[in-house]
Structure 1
């Protein structure tokens, strides 16, 4: 099986047009990769698409430029020469120096909602949404990865084991019905069974998942059935909210498990 090369981002742009009047000239598909998400989530009379130009580092020359940073919003007022792109996007680029370091942008994605999260390691979700006049409850936000992905690290919990006390705890998460955006909770009740006013649904669900994980401290989490609502506009944004509390806590546990191994490698003279 062929191993795909790690790509780097060389440019970014945004294209907006009416579905009934497609553009006469779309970006060259040999250079530009379109993120297959309508930035309006098909809620507008027009479509908008994010295009990312990517290149194989092995094919770069000294004349090629790489993206080092991406901002959205007002023009950055400090140092460097930022380049403007549609949608309020600003790029900081430099010529290829022969080295791909951790500063280089290697992947760009789009997530939706004021409550969106990106639990993937090293990915950074921008707070400011793209400036495309989208519906306020579904803002399109860029998520950016810097640096080449390394090989997966050791997984201290890859092998499921019974605890020393003979117990093995499983938490099952089912029927969260997450949506794009915060959603509306219409059926909540208090501890005495009294109806509560409508509230934001998904943040309450995420908070409940987190508190349950902290209380139960499971050895295994199983996701079953209907994690997404039937009319979810962007399944990735919705699903990320479900798994974020799990990933966050699993990474914390992995760090604790690997810390003793790391300390064993430190020379004694440093203590």
Structure 2
């Protein structure tokens, strides 16, 4: 004899800062049936799995972008017959394109700077910096994206354990710096050659040669950016009576003591 059971479950993951992140809905329909098998009674059940929908955004991991080199060439030949004012002709056209990694770009030496060493990067924008972006997604024009991703520092968390003491702490910076993806340059070379020739009782000819070389760069916004120069990470300095560190370590649960000069000032 069977006993039908119907079970519904719902699970939601809500973060106050970013909203709902995950939704799971479950509908479990099962039938319990007692089966007599050789004087033994056993239960047999049948159920449906749980389905879920995730609203989580893919995380961003800093990576090295390899510069590409593009080469395109187009050739057109237009021969024909010239008689009086008529010029019957035909033309042949062909094109060639290639995208590859140049020999100078096959090996790259890219330094990387973490949260504790942002100030050591200086103006080396080809270096890799450790940061993250919230709600990272590809840019598109249609439909338009109202907001771009929000960058955030990726700090390190340290743990300490000892006799009578233990816990976790992290570093804090008292300045506002300028971070961006590392600078990459891609090169494009294009060429075009056209030849026109006609012969008969009259002769005419012509040629057209075009060449273009361009460099496209992707990286930090430096030109006409009023925030680029002031937003420089402060380096550690030392005087006779005090030292100013670039970072200050403390536990996240401890309230910081700010001074009028900098939160990273150590007396």
Normalized per residue, which structure has more strand?
A: 2
Normalized per residue, which structure has more helix?
A: 1
**Normalised-by-shorter TM-score class:** under 0.3
TM-score norm. by structure 1 comes to: 0.22
